[in-house]
Amino acid sequence: MSGPESKHLDFSSISPSEFFYRNRQMAGFGNPAQATYSTVRELVENSLDSCEDAGRAPVIAVSLETTASSQVVISVEDNGLGLPYDEVPSAFGQVLYGSKYGLRQKRGTFGLGVTMAVLYGQITTDSPVIIHTQSDNRGWVYRLYIDIENNHPLVEESSERIRSETGTTVTVRIEGDLPRAASRIDDYLRLTSIATPHARLVLRIDDETTLDVGPWTEILPPQPMEAKPHPRSADTELVRRTMAGKQALSLKDYLIGSFQQVGRKTASEFIRFLGLDSKRRVGDLSRTEISRISSVLKSYDSFSRPDGNSLSPIGREAFLKGVQSLYEPEYFSYASRGPLEWDGYPFILEGVIASGAAFPKGEEPTLFRFANRVPLLYDASDDILTKSLKRVSWSRYGIPNGVPWGIFVSFCSTKVPYQAAGKQSIATLDEIESAGLALFRALGRGALKQTKRQKRSKRSQKRMREMKASLRMIARFSADLAEVNTQYADELAANLFRGDEQ
Amino acid sequence: MSGPESKHLDFSSISPSEFFYRNRQMAGFGNPAQATYSTVRELVENSLDSCEDAGRAPVIAVSLETTASSQVVISVEDNGLGLPYDEVPSAFGQVLYGSKYGLRQKRGTFGLGVTMAVLYGQITTDSPVIIHTQSDNRGWVYRLYIDIENNHPLVEESSERIRSETGTTVTVRIEGDLPRAASRIDDYLRLTSIATPHARLVLRIDDETTLDVGPWTEILPPQPMEAKPHPRSADTELVRRTMAGKQALSLKDYLIGSFQQVGRKTASEFIRFLGLDSKRRVGDLSRTEISRISSVLKSYDSFSRPDGNSLSPIGREAFLKGVQSLYEPEYFSYASRGPLEWDGYPFILEGVIASGAAFPKGEEPTLFRFANRVPLLYDASDDILTKSLKRVSWSRYGIPNGVPWGIFVSFCSTKVPYQAAGKQSIATLDEIESAGLALFRALGRGALKQTKRQKRSKRSQKRMREMKASLRMIARFSADLAEVNTQYADELAANLFRGDEQ
């Protein structure tokens, strides 16, 4: 037997792009069909975020072109903010590089999605990504690859080219499967149009326009504001980082300046609760004290809830309008819960319940999920919202009662706790689960009320018809008796009920 | 309205440890209960891999200690290979650093799991990881943190301390939830003992031994061999990398030296099919030619299947022994499929079907999943093996027929296509799905045969009893007629059937 000395292993480090290159199924690029869908999704979300940043109603054109081989050329064009010349290479050619790390609601979050599409295109078709972008009065075209081992952009070509307006067009060529992905992409864009009702979305497949939806409203939602972290999200790492560069501040001023929902009074009370001197300089705190501050910040009850201004919910009117426009439901009703909180991050849950021929029949309503206005089409069964839906006794709300139902539920937060880098399902967290249950029950009650009202109105219409018939007979009979023309009696009866039937 | 110029965003890059710090639910550290489970799992898997590398029967002791607060101290001790002095800091304090990047079956793969446990412990309890390890005749103790922003180890202390034998003990303190995690951990260790029947696994909770299972066999499985990549896994990135440093080689020699299943004959045929000259130097190939070589390598039919020697399946006897020892089933049967292939990676599927009181009743057998000998306890519904199981008509195999059934299915490959960094479910791939279906049907047939045999044997026993009774009567009757003592006839009849009843 050889000794352990002879068996030492080789150790090495890999770059994040190498990690996702090796594990691409984790980011939603596991097979050609899924990769086709994910590429569209990542590019469209980037575009929508860029339009919101620009404060413009988004107009997004997606174009898919099949080729002789199994390759698909995917191109997404937006009227967004555009990218500054010198940020293009890193934004498209470096994994975990991006602009979306601040605390406010955004679709994208990771600096991962678009670079994954670039990486996947490169390894399957050996083609560079092509970016045409303009952020001021000059436009640029880039063709670039990713140096995967070192996680760096490799620019093949860059040149000046003006665009008709600011915005960005990104084109990638991937090994794809359009026949299997096409209906998902169509679903995705339709649902996106519900969650972003101020956008116009166009899909062209091989130069034929197959979808052109929205905008359903002219009103742009207010832009969510960047927020400071909430104290209950302050793990030791965050506390240490926020303290860096504030060594000379007093503990009190540090707390007020670094966190939301901490004013002078709250800060004083908190520090008294901690048992520290509020004039202690941050730089003088020991490691143990810093660790204690973090653990008390996380558990202290008296901070107000996190600020909802960093969120951008869809809103009652816009949400209903989108569902109405696309599904033409018979009944529909809206409810919302929040702002609530998970681990110091604010969130809002909104939902629309609707019934009509557009939905499939089932024991419970069909669920359509959104996170930060992004439709989630995969991994439904592991999502906490799906699990909550299944816990509701729908029969109590008269569902199903012959008609099929759908529920659109939108979760928004400064941070979405996705279960995986493919961003398809929300992780199991108690706060979200109980908010989900409350929302679904509220939607159930809304549906029950509407169906009852509808039943009542049907009943009263029926009674009206009966009364009208009886009255007509009485009128005729009386007219006969009085030897009056019976036609006059008919008109009288008809006039009495005018406007009640429709 | 302000122009787009005023709205340029701040761009920045984040380190991989920063990425997983922000998205810890993706790696299985979403809440305290899950984090407790994941920490145990990651440490145990590292230990098992280390014992296999050392060629020793693993003895792994897991210890969980609760504290006054909601913290849990988790310690895992093994008799594995130990770590060389200078590799300890990076192996525990740097995300995406490891020894497991080669092409052979391993439990761990990413250089992510253990560092996630360290990171989670550090941000929730501000405690360092403590490592006591010995790889030769000197032992070392380290206490270290991770510099998350820069993804570097921060060693707080390191000193020499001898151990009784080579191996490693790792201790982390995390914010955990032992009451909610304990039964999962127990399940996890029991199932691990089925998939690694040559290991002994001990669990101590607050100094009380709550579990001590295995080994079920003394035989160590042969170590899987490191393999060269299969040509069908050769995307352009892999081709370019394997070409680096081989610029002077001919195309033919490059192919033979870089890939498995490519000998002189196969290489010549392949190059003829490509239409290139087999003497072309690698360094003279154009980008287009390299890209073409990659795409033809991936689609060329005539390469043999990838080498199964890089795999280490559990094996019929060991698998059955583990299931028998832990579940004491009435019936059981084994089947396997493979080596097969997904995208150029070899895989084997093995399964044991068993019935007995230990399994829950249901429409279909309860599924226990393993990937590279690791039990998968979460995210079952999205796993391709679960989906395949549901597609089988179990009633055709007489299941359920009153008794509850379980299926243990083990997937092993040089690369497991996990859906997420938490490593809980296998992605949807056609090759795995059809192998799963074939395996489940084979197990169904095995179960049907066994239950039929059992029924047959019950029927024949019944017939025997009837014949014996008849024969005894005939014998008595004949004895009576012959005026012989009837007791002798009884004994005769009894002797005839000796051994047939039991």
- B:435-494 residues touching chain A, CB 8 A cutoff: none
A169 and chain B in contact, CB less than 8 A = no
Contacts of B98 in chain A (CB under 8 A): 11-12
pTM for this prediction: 0.83
What is the mean predicted confidence (pLDDT) over A317-343? 93
Query: How far is Cα A57 from Cα B1, in angstroms, rounded to an integer?
Result: 14
Does residue B227 surpass a pLDDT of 70? yes
Does residue B196 surpass a pLDDT of 90? yes
A278 versus A122: which is more confidently predicted? A122
B8 and chain A in contact, CB less than 8 A = yes
- The DSSP symbol for A231 reads G
Task: With residue A381 as reference, give the H or E element that holds it.
Answer: none
Query: How far is Cα A120 from Cα A33, in angstroms, rounded to an integer?
Result: 12
Share of chain A above pLDDT 70, in %: 91
Q: Check A31 against B90: CB less than 8 A apart.
A: no
Q: State the smallest CA–CA distance between residue B370 and chain A in angstroms.
A: 18
Does residue A132 surpass a pLDDT of 60? yes
- B:57-96 residues touching chain A, CB 8 A cutoff: 81-82, 84, 87, 90-91, 94, 96
**Rounded mean pLDDT of chain A?**
88
Query: How far is Cα A103 from Cα A345, in angstroms, rounded to an integer?
Result: 9
A474 versus A435: which is more confidently predicted? A435
What is the mean predicted confidence (pLDDT) over A330-356? 93
**Domains in chain A with CATH codes:** 16-213 (3.30.565.10), 231-299 (1.10.8.50), 308-451 (3.30.230.10), 458-496 (no CATH)
pLDDT at B494: 66
What is the mean predicted confidence (pLDDT) over A286-308? 90
Dump pLDDT digits (tens) for A433-459: 999 999 999 999 998 887 777 676 666
Are the CB atoms for A296 and A274 separated by under 8 Å? yes
From B341, B337, B361, select the one nearest B351 (Cα to Cα). B337
Q: State the smallest CA–CA distance between residue A454 and chain B in angstroms.
A: 39
pLDDT at B453: 73
Kindly indicate the confidence band of residue A5, based on its pLDDT and cuts at 50, 70 and 90.
Answer: very low
3-class SS shares of chain B: helix, strand, coil, % to 5: 45, 20, 35
pLDDT at A464: 67
- In this complex, the residue of B7, B8, B99 whose CB is nearest that of residue A10 is B99
Does residue A499 surpass a pLDDT of 60? no
Q: Check B166 against A4: CB less than 8 A apart.
A: yes
Of the ranges A128-132, B129-133, B225-229, which one carries the lowest mean pLDDT score?
A: B225-229
From B140, B139, B143, select the one nearest B118 (Cα to Cα). B143
pLDDT at B101: 58
pLDDT at B489: 65
A99 φ/ψ angles, rounded to the nearest 5 degrees:
-115, 10
Helix axes A236-243, A251-258, angle to 10 degrees: 110
- A:266-325 residues touching chain B, CB 8 A cutoff: 287, 290-291, 294
From A24, A2, A95, select the one nearest A420 (Cα to Cα). A24
B374 φ/ψ angles, rounded to the nearest 5 degrees:
-105, 125
A259 and chain B in contact, CB less than 8 A = no
- The DSSP symbol for A225 reads P
pLDDT at B492: 65
What is the mean predicted confidence (pLDDT) over B441-463? 79
Query: How far is Cα A446 from Cα A456, in angstroms, rounded to an integer?
Result: 15
- The DSSP symbol for A281 reads B
Q: State the smallest CA–CA distance between residue A449 and chain B in angstroms.
A: 35
Query: How far is Cα B290 from Cα B254, in angstroms, rounded to an integer?
Result: 12
A346 φ/ψ angles, rounded to the nearest 5 degrees:
-75, 150
Q: State the smallest CA–CA distance between residue B89 and chain A in angstroms.
A: 12
pLDDT at A460: 65
A1 and chain B in contact, CB less than 8 A = yes
B235 versus B73: which is more confidently predicted? B73
pLDDT at B6: 36
CB pairs under 8 A between A and B: 188
B16 and chain A in contact, CB less than 8 A = yes
Contacts of B4 in chain A (CB under 8 A): 54, 81-82, 135-136, 166
Query: How far is Cα A15 from Cα B149, in angstroms, rounded to an integer?
Result: 15
Give the Å distances, CA to CA, from A22 to A432, B96, B101.
33, 12, 10
B409-438: buried (b, 16+ CB within 10 Å) or exposed (e) per residue? bbbbbbbbbbbbbbbbbbbbbeebbebbbb
Query: How far is Cα A363 from Cα A349, in angstroms, rounded to an integer?
Result: 23
Task: Put the strands of the sheet holding A405-413 in their side by side order.
Answer: A331-342, A345-355, A405-413, A366-371, A374-376
Kindly indicate the confidence band of residue A187, based on its pLDDT and cuts at 50, 70 and 90.
Answer: very high
Longest dimension (CA), chain B: 125
3-class SS shares of chain A: helix, strand, coil, % to 5: 45, 20, 35
- CA A422 to the chain's CA centroid: 14
Kindly indicate the confidence band of residue A492, based on its pLDDT and cuts at 50, 70 and 90.
Answer: low
B178 and chain A in contact, CB less than 8 A = no
Of the ranges A241-245, A360-364, A463-467, B320-324, which one carries the lowest mean pLDDT score?
A: A463-467
Are the CB atoms for A436 and A388 separated by under 8 Å? yes
Q: Is B501 exposed, middle or buried (0-12, 13-18, 19+ CB in 10 A)?
A: exposed
B358 versus A472: which is more confidently predicted? B358
A405: its two tokens? 């139902």
A24 φ/ψ angles, rounded to the nearest 5 degrees:
-70, -25
Q: Check B418 against A23: CB less than 8 A apart.
A: yes
What is the DSSP code string of B363-420? SSPEEEEEETTEEE-S-GGG-HHHHHHHHS-GGGGT-SSSS-EEEEEEEEESS--BSS
A31 and chain B in contact, CB less than 8 A = yes
B245 and chain A in contact, CB less than 8 A = no
3-state secondary structure of B32: helix
Structure ipTM:
0.79
- With tokens 């009065």, the residue in question is A137
Contacts of A7 in chain B (CB under 8 A): 53-55, 81
Dump pLDDT digits (tens) for A364-377: 899 999 999 999 99
pLDDT at A1: 32
What is the mean predicted confidence (pLDDT) over A270-288? 92
Q: Check B101 against A417: CB less than 8 A apart.
A: no
**Which residues on neighbouring strands pair with residue A487, listed in sequence order?**
none
Dump pLDDT digits (tens) for B102-118: 677 888 766 788 999 99
Query: How far is Cα B373 from Cα B107, in angstroms, rounded to an integer?
Result: 7
For residue B325, how many other CB atoms are within 10 A of its CB?
Answer: 16
Length of chain A: 502
Dump pLDDT digits (tens) for A85-112: 888 999 999 988 877 656 778 887 667 8
- The full 3-state SS of B311-371, as one line of letters, equals CCCCCHHHHHHHHHHHHCCCEEEEEEEEEEEECCEEEEEEEEEEECCCCCCCCCCEEEEEE
- B:99-138 residues touching chain A, CB 8 A cutoff: 99, 101-102, 110-112, 122-126, 135-136
**Which residues on neighbouring strands pair with residue A348, listed in sequence order?**
A412
**Which residues on neighbouring strands pair with residue A158, listed in sequence order?**
A142
What is the mean predicted confidence (pLDDT) over B206-229? 92
Contacts of A126 in chain B (CB under 8 A): 236, 287, 290-291, 294
Q: State the smallest CA–CA distance between residue A217 and chain B in angstroms.
A: 20
Cα end-to-end distance, chain B, whole Å: 94
Report the amino acid identity of residue A425.
S
B149 and chain A in contact, CB less than 8 A = yes
Contacts of A96 in chain B (CB under 8 A): 13-16, 18-19
Give the Å distances, CA to CA, from B241 to B111, B258, B401.
21, 10, 56
Q: Check A96 against B19: CB less than 8 A apart.
A: yes
**Rounded mean pLDDT of chain B?**
88
- With tokens 């592991």, the residue in question is A382
Query: How far is Cα A351 from Cα A319, in angstroms, rounded to an integer?
Result: 8
Query: How far is Cα A76 from Cα A62, in angstroms, rounded to an integer?
Result: 5
B455: its two tokens? 């029924």
pLDDT at B459: 67
Report the amino acid identity of residue A247.
Q
Report the amino acid identity of residue B312.
S
Are the CB atoms for B408 and B323 separated by under 8 Å? yes
Q: State the smallest CA–CA distance between residue B96 and chain A in angstroms.
A: 6
Contacts of A110 in chain B (CB under 8 A): 19, 23
Contacts of B16 in chain A (CB under 8 A): 15-16, 19, 96
B449: its two tokens? 């045969």
CA-nearest residue to B28 within chain A is: A419
Query: How far is Cα A412 from Cα A428, in angstroms, rounded to an integer?
Result: 15
From A348, A346, A343, A337, select the one nearest A373 (Cα to Cα). A348
From B26, B244, B97, B11, select the one nearest A15 (Cα to Cα). B97
Share of chain B above pLDDT 90, in %: 60
Report the amino acid identity of residue B91.
A
Query: How far is Cα B115 from Cα A277, in angstroms, rounded to an integer?
Result: 36
Q: Check A99 against B429: CB less than 8 A apart.
A: no
Q: Which residues contact A183 (CB under 8 A, 6 or more apart)?
A: none
Task: With residue A130 as reference, give the H or E element that holds it.
Answer: strand A129-134
Query: How far is Cα B228 from Cα B254, in angstroms, rounded to an integer?
Result: 12
From B197, B445, B232, B484, select the one nearest B312 (Cα to Cα). B197
Q: Check A419 against B30: CB less than 8 A apart.
A: yes
Are the CB atoms for B370 and B408 separated by under 8 Å? yes
From A92, A140, A309, select the one nearest B11 (Cα to Cα). A92
B177 and chain A in contact, CB less than 8 A = no
Highest mean pLDDT out of A228-237, B420-429, B491-500: A228-237
Length of chain B: 502
Are the CB atoms for B244 and B102 separated by under 8 Å? no
Cα end-to-end distance, chain A, whole Å: 93
B420 and chain A in contact, CB less than 8 A = yes
A117: its two tokens? 């599409």
What is the DSSP code string of B187-245? HHHHHHHHHSTT-EEEEEETTEEEEEE--S-SPPPPPPPP-PPPGGG--HHHHHHHHTT
